[in-house]
Amino acid sequence: MTQPAIDQSVQHLHQWGWQPGGWMHEGWWSHLGLAPWRAVYHSRPACRPSIDRLILQHRGITWKSLPACLDARQRVMLALEPRLPRLVVALGVVALNCPDHLLIKDHRQALEPYLDERHCDHLLALHRGWSHTEPALPAETLSQAALHTGTRWWLRDVEQAPLSDLLTLRLPPVADALPQVRENAIQWLTKLGRFL
């Protein structure tokens, strides 16, 4: 009798779920009060399981198990994970709602770690409701502001579930006020995932 193969996406989710220290955003180490453990985590493999449990505990994770299968919506979200920082920056640019962020050369260059020229052009065309009154942020702060704004918008609209708890760890910790955006971040993120 052959064992059914474990779905790769579920396997990936379980690896993340029980080994968050290996892939979470570096900002979480200090945010969770675990900065001294970061070097230990990377240099001493035997300590990793204990530190991973500490991360989940400090993060306030209450689930004790992860799903054995994913529905279609969860599969779409999980498939976006490798591009999540780029997509969340794009989401933040939409939330900041200033077309100059995508039109002015210095601003485009500031977004380059996440969005290339083609991505900026696509994003400019995808959002139809650009404000003509929102001021442009300084180019030197734009990429981090977009990342944090996009993260806050995503956190506002994401369904609380183990998958979203884990995806949140891929993004920087944020504690600022939620953005005043009427549209749904998850729908925007899915839309951006098709084009960027």
Per-residue model confidence as pLDDT tens digits over 70-129: 889 888 899 999 999 999 999 999 999 999 999 999 999 999 999 999 999 999 999 988
18, 36, 59: which is the final residue of a domain? 59
Query: What is the predicted pLDDT for the residue at 2?
Result: 57
Task: Verify that 187 and 93 share a domain, yes or no.
Answer: yes
Phi-psi region of 158 (alpha: psi -120 to 50; beta: other; left: phi over 0): beta
Task: Answer yes or no: is pLDDT of 56 > 90.
Answer: yes
Q: Assess if residue 66 is contained within a domain.
A: no
| Same-domain status, 189 and 132 | yes
* 4 pLDDT above the threshold of 70: no
Of 53, 42, 131, 61, give the one whose Cα is nearest residue 95.
131
- Average pLDDT, integer, range 150-167: 92
Confidence of residue 5 (pLDDT cuts 50, 70, 90): low
Residue of 28, 29, 189, 167 lying closest to 123 (CA atoms): 189
pTM: 0.89
Cα–Cα nearest to 91, from 151, 173, 10, 18: 151
Domain boundary among 34, 59, 84: 59
Q: Is residue 65 part of a domain?
A: no
Residue 12: per-residue pLDDT? 86
Asked whether residue 31 falls in the same domain as residue 108, the answer is: no
- Residue 82 makes CB contacts below 8 A (sequence gap 6+) with none
The whole-number average pLDDT for the span 118-142 is: 94
| 26-30, 115-119, 172-176, range with the lowest pLDDT | 172-176
pLDDT of 7 strictly over 70: yes
pLDDT score for 88: 97
Q: Is residue 44 domain-shared with residue 88, that is, in the same domain? A: no
Same structural domain, 33 and 124: no
Confidence class for position 177, pLDDT limits 50, 70, 90: confident
Q: What percent of the chain has pLDDT over 90?
A: 73
Structural domain tally of the chain? 2
Assigned token pair, 62: 């209450």
In a domain, 137, yes or no: yes
Taking the chain, what is the end-to-end CA distance rounded to the nearest angstrom?
A: 43
Q: How many other CB atoms sit within 10 Å of the CB of residue 188?
A: 22
pLDDT of residue 3: 56
Q: pLDDT value at position 175? A: 78
- Residue 129 falls inside a structural domain: yes
Q: Report whether pLDDT(10) > 90.
A: no
Indicate if 109 and 42 belong to the same structural domain. Answer: no
Same domain, residue pair 55 and 86: no
Domain extent, residue 19, equals 8-59
Asked whether residue 48 carries a pLDDT value surpassing 90, the answer given is yes
Residues 163 and 129 reside in one and the same domain:
yes
